[in-house]
Structure 1
Amino acid sequence: MKISILIGTRPNFIKVTQFKKCAAILDPNIKITVIHTGQHYDEKMADVFFKQFNLLPDHYLNIAPASANKQIADIMIKLEELIDKIGKPDLLLVPGDVNSTMAGALFANKSGIKLGHIEAGLRSFDRTMPEEFNRIVTDELTDLFFITEPSGLEHLKNEKRDISKIHFVGNTMIDTMVAFENEIEASPVLKDLGINSAKFVLMTMHRPATVDNKAEFEKLIQLIEHVSINYMVVFAIHPRTIKNAKEFGLYDKITNNKNLICTEPLDYFAFQKLVKNCAFILTDSGGIQEESTFRQKPCLTLRPNTERPITVTEGSNTLLTFDIETVKSYIAKIEDGSYKKGKVPEMWDGKATERILKIISTKL
């Protein structure tokens, strides 16, 4: 059996690290081919991730930076050229909700290839997010739905999907955390950043609603200034965030704060060591909501919605409007011990990849 996995961004890489290893153990007749579109074009960082995970793609499509429309078209064209050379797989597996995910789904549909979707059924119900459109289109074309949480099942049922094709398997991103726990613990990042206590806050902010608007960016600076009174703040800062800070005339507010450490994108082990050891997390990102829930680490997500509701209903994540006083009140709850503890969701146990492969073996 031939399975091709299409990845394009760093969050995608994290979700597929265990497939080749699990396939080799479960059934040597399962042949896994990993295809990297190049959607994330920081190849230096991509190479670091691949080396850490011992996951070198078998094929690169090498698409160039471009608009979403051109990227999706280029992926489909180059994927067709590649499949013509190497032969059709029995299944194309796509993780997540990025442009590469949807491009793979469209290609599979037009090429008569069965499609499996990892993280199927997640919905934010916010059509202003490009990821939401990618999720909906991908699930419209999917043959095997692999869901991470019960909300995925409910959404797919409401969309009248075939229940026999929906499989609750757990979270493959957690598989990676479990598999590399020793490497995460061994990361020297705390020493490298000069952090000698757990009294630091990890921050990631990159969504346009947060950093592309000057008024919102000024609120972000106010929040950093408040938090940094009592904590070191480690800000894993996106290049676009730096660019906007300079354009808004706010860059000095970042560089002059002695309790703020701005880092370039970190390798996986380093970032997970920070998640594991911080006091709490401030974010507008997606994956870290799940990572913090697995670590049972308080996470304040400055967004009105999430496609990962189990991190709120069962986990340690809280959605907040970006109101400084509201955020302060939740930080106070964390500090006085009244913030919720959360629990690790069902099947987030490091075995999701194995479950997916067993299902594929029986369904194809």
Structure 2
Amino acid sequence: MGAVLKIDLIAAARPNFMKVAPVYHALRRQMRCDLRLVHSGQHYDANMSQTFFQDLALPDPDINLGVGSGTHAEQTGRTLMAYERLCIDRRPDWTIVVGDVNATLACALAATKMGIRVGHVESGLRSRDRSMPEEVNRVLTDAVADLLWTPSSDANENLRSEGIPEARIDFVGNVMIDTFEFMRPRIEAASTRADQGLVFGSYAVVTLHRPSNVDDPARLATLVNTLGRISADLPIVFPVHPRTRARLEGAGLLSRLRACAGIRLLEPQGYVSFMNLLTGAAIAITDSGGMQEETTYLSIPCLTIRDTTERPVTLTQGTNQLVRAEQLLDAVHAASFAADESWRAAQKRPPLWDGHAAERIVESLKRHT
């Protein structure tokens, strides 16, 4: 037998944990390797990190870099330096990064500069909006990575158009769907929806956290007022991101939301609890990337409060729509058709969104090692 492959799998922020989990479990099942789970420490409180690890059956990280919060430059720089030191102490054969957060780019850069091979899960997504830090992270990570695992055919085309050699691109599908199918029994058995008194198919789920929506008090006020009007006809459940809560409090808007009888404000939810809410929703209102994919898979209409998306496949599938804050009320009313079961039944899932993407990633890694 050959030498055991040393692999570092990087976990950073909550949106990435759902992508890390299926890869971790597939590596454990399918490959003889010395696997080290490295947490950057970007999300370090229990609701934003530990709960997700427990839900996703992930062990405690082998290493926590303890990076914490800060500006984009501070987070990226601290992560790069900390991960470089880690690689000097114990050099991996491969560093696997996921998604598009600051630690994704930082660890990819540190590994590349040391001659360590890098694999990128969820490569090739593009919004064409360089004002989004995540877009910069995506482009630069793909430029340096050795093996690019893509979730959709448009991602393949994006990479080809940027001059990435075909040999580095491997279309494997969407690992987020792996996580959902792995956790489906627990999601369906969870009582979160019932505990909130919500009726299946008769409420909206809202998540907001992007600076473009929550940092401008005027724009945030528009969203709060619109959510209040929507909730008069359609109950809303709104798990509030810590950053969003701080902005709402700072703008004096949190009390306005609390005064709306039709809005339930929750703490950030673990994966199982949140997906129990989402699977029963009539509609999702969000600025998240992952929820655009999850609602597409579940055939739930999604209104994304952004000007661009790095997941255009959700638009072409017809389940997702980009809207501005001032368009939201009309868009919710227009999407009411989607409560029709015949509409949901007619939706088709994108290719390779089948719950086996992580298995294909491991097979790809074997072929390239």
TM-score bracket, shorter-length normalisation:
over 0.9
Aligned match of 2:80 in 76, 86, 105? 76
Aligned match of 1:350 in 341, 348, 355? 355
In 2, are the aligned partners of 1:320 and 1:326 still within 8 Å (CA)?
Answer: no
| Match status 1:286 vs 2:289 | yes
Percent same amino acid among aligned pairs? 36
What runs of 5+ residues in structure 2 fail to find an aligned partner?
Answer: none
Corresponding residue of 1:63: 67
User: Where does 1:5-44 land on structure 2 (aligned, <5 Å)?
Assistant: 5-27=9-31, 29-44=32-47
Change (3 A) 1:121 1:64: same
Give distance in 1, aligned partners of 2:25 and 2:341: 41
User: Where does 1:1-364 land on structure 2 (aligned, <5 Å)?
Assistant: 1-27=5-31, 29-56=32-59, 57-85=61-89, 87-324=90-327, 326-334=330-338, 342-364=347-369
CA apart distance, 1:90: 1.4
**Which residue identity lines up with residue 353 of structure 2 in the other structure?**
W
In 2, are the aligned partners of 1:119 and 1:148 still within 8 Å (CA)?
Answer: yes
Change (3 A) 1:296 1:108: same
Change (3 A) 1:20 1:216: closer
In 2, are the aligned partners of 1:316 and 1:343 still within 8 Å (CA)?
Answer: no
Give distance in 2, aligned partners of 1:337 and 1:213: 38
Change (3 A) 1:189 1:60: same
CA apart distance, 1:39: 1.1
Change (3 A) 1:112 1:43: farther
Q: Please tell me the root mean square deviation across aligned C-alpha atoms, in Å.
A: 1.8
Change (3 A) 1:105 1:6: same
Change (3 A) 1:356 1:337: closer
Secondary structure (helix, strand or coil) at the match of 1:266 reads: coil
Q: Give the structure-2-normalised TM-score.
A: 0.93
Change (3 A) 1:197 1:145: closer
Give distance in 1, aligned partners of 2:43 and 2:186: 24
Change (3 A) 1:328 1:290: closer
In 1, are the aligned partners of 2:38 and 2:63 still within 8 Å (CA)?
Answer: yes
Change (3 A) 1:88 1:339: same
Give distance in 2, aligned partners of 1:276 and 1:300: 15
CA deviations on 1:227-282 (whole Å, 9 max, x unpaired) are 11222100111222222223323222201111100011001001111111011111
In 2, are the aligned partners of 1:76 and 1:104 still within 8 Å (CA)?
Answer: yes
Give distance in 2, aligned partners of 1:19 and 1:127: 29
**Which residue identity lines up with residue 367 of structure 2 in the other structure?**
T
CA deviations on 1:145-166 (whole Å, 9 max, x unpaired) are 1000111111111101101110
CA apart distance, 1:318: 1.3
Secondary structure (helix, strand or coil) at the match of 1:261 reads: strand
What runs of 5+ residues in structure 1 fail to find an aligned partner?
Answer: none
Give distance in 2, aligned partners of 1:116 and 1:55: 20
Give distance in 2, aligned partners of 1:339 and 1:350: 23
Secondary structure (helix, strand or coil) at the match of 2:256 reads: helix
Secondary structure (helix, strand or coil) at the match of 1:17 reads: helix
Deviates more, 1:339-348 or 1:290-299: 339-348
Change (3 A) 1:63 1:163: same
Secondary structure (helix, strand or coil) at the match of 1:4 reads: strand
In 1, are the aligned partners of 2:56 and 2:271 still within 8 Å (CA)?
Answer: no
In 2, are the aligned partners of 1:330 and 1:339 still within 8 Å (CA)?
Answer: no
Secondary structure (helix, strand or coil) at the match of 2:118 reads: strand
CA apart distance, 1:65: 2.4
CA apart distance, 1:356: 0.6
CA apart distance, 1:96: 0.3
CA apart distance, 1:47: 1.3
Size of the aligned set, in residue pairs, is 362
CA apart distance, 1:11: 1.3
Give distance in 1, aligned partners of 2:76 and 2:209: 22
Secondary structure (helix, strand or coil) at the match of 1:152 reads: helix
